[in-house]
């Protein structure tokens, strides 16, 4: 199946700093990528939809100024957690839709574990 | 907006036992349905999906699921589980239109004892 990578796999930062997470589709071009957040022992919650060449669509309750999303190319979307605080500590997962597999199929990255001290 | 319910939060089975995990969704229109699996320390993998056609779909590793439209259900089944099936299982749904973003259920943790 299609491969999606995320970098870094884990990051520890101090409160107040910003952290950038990259999501790449390795063997296909993804016009749409999604960013999810997963709390321990809970399900994935959609944060935003990242569209190549246009602004991201954020879910209700997600601060767009806090979680900056940039989808600069067909294979790369970035999520920047700005001025991170301990409550932002979580597991962030991206997914990418492979148009060649139909509009409905998404492939997930391995996730990025963020710990804010 | 759509929602997904998984009523079994934690299931413990012995090897060779049969498995059925429940999944119900609510949405007024046409949906696409998925089951994903997350093995310990690994990323989400697609087990199977239903878009249209035969409501009984077969996926990888011997899993299957049946879409029952009248019950808004998409239960996952496997006739004989193995220890390697120990994982977290997520049911998910997308509307058949629009952004097609996935809405996930809360997940079911399956523990298979040897």
The tens digit of pLDDT for each residue in A68-99 reads: 999 888 999 999 999 999 999 999 999 998 77
| Contact with chain B for residue A101, Cβ under 8 A | no
Q: Does residue A8 have a cis bond before it (omega within 30 degrees)? A: yes
Which residues does chain B have within 8 Å of residue A110's beta carbon, measured at their own beta carbons?
42-43
Chain A residue with minimal CA distance to B49?
A105
With bands split at pLDDT 50, 70 and 90, how would you rate the model's confidence at B19? very high
* Residue A62: DSSP 8-state: -
Which residues does chain B have within 8 Å of residue A57's beta carbon, measured at their own beta carbons?
99
Compute the nearest-CA separation of B75 from chain A (Å): 18
Alpha-carbon gap, residue B38 to B42, rounded angstroms = 6
pLDDT tens-digit map of B36-92: 999 988 888 999 999 889 999 999 999 999 999 999 999 999 999 999 999 999 999
Compute the nearest-CA separation of B23 from chain A (Å): 14
pLDDT tens-digit map of B92-104: 998 877 767 889 9
Q: Show the tokens assigned to A28.
A: 């296909």
pLDDT of residue A111: 94
For residue B49, how far is the Cα from the chain centroid? Answer: 9
Q: Show the tokens assigned to B48.
A: 């199977």
Cβ–Cβ < 8 Å for B67, B88:
no
Share of chain A above pLDDT 90, in %: 68
Give the residue ranges of chain A where pLDDT is below 50.
none
Cβ–Cβ < 8 Å for A115, A89:
yes
pLDDT of residue A33: 93
Alpha-carbon separation of residue A8 from A11, A36, A37, A111 (angstroms): 7, 15, 15, 9
Nearest alpha-carbon partner for B101 in A57, A69, A81: A57
Which residues does chain A have within 8 Å of residue B95's beta carbon, measured at their own beta carbons?
none
């Amino acid at each position: 199946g299609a491969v999606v990578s995320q970098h870094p796999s884990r990051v520890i930062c101090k409160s107040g700093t910003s952290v950038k997470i990259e999501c790449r589709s390795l063997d296909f071009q993804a016009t749409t990528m999604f960013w999810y957040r997963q709390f321990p022992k809970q399900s994935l919650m959609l944060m935003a939809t990242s569209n190549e060449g246009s602004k991201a669509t954020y879910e209700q309750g997600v601060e767009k100024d806090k979680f900056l999303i940039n989808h600069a190319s067909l294979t790369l979307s970035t999520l920047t957690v700005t001025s991170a605080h301990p409550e932002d500590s979580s597991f962030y997962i991206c997914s990418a839709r492979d148009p060649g597999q139909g509009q409905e199929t998404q492939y997930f990255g391995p996730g990025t574990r963020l710990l804010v001290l | 907006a759509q929602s997904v319910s998984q009523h079994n939060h934690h299931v413990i089975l012995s090897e060779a036992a049969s498995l059925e995990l429940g999944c119900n969704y609510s949405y007024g229109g046409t949906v696409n349905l998925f089951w994903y699996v997350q093995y310990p320390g690994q990323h989400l993998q697609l087990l199977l999906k239903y878009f249209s056609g035969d409501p009984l779909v077969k996926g990888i590793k011997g899993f299957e699921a049946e879409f029952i439209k009248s019950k808004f259900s998409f239960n996952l089944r496997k006739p004989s589980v193995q220890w390697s099936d120990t994982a977290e299982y997520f049911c998910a749904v997308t509307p058949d239109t629009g952004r097609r973003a996935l809405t996930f259920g809360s997940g079911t943790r399956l523990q298979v004892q040897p």
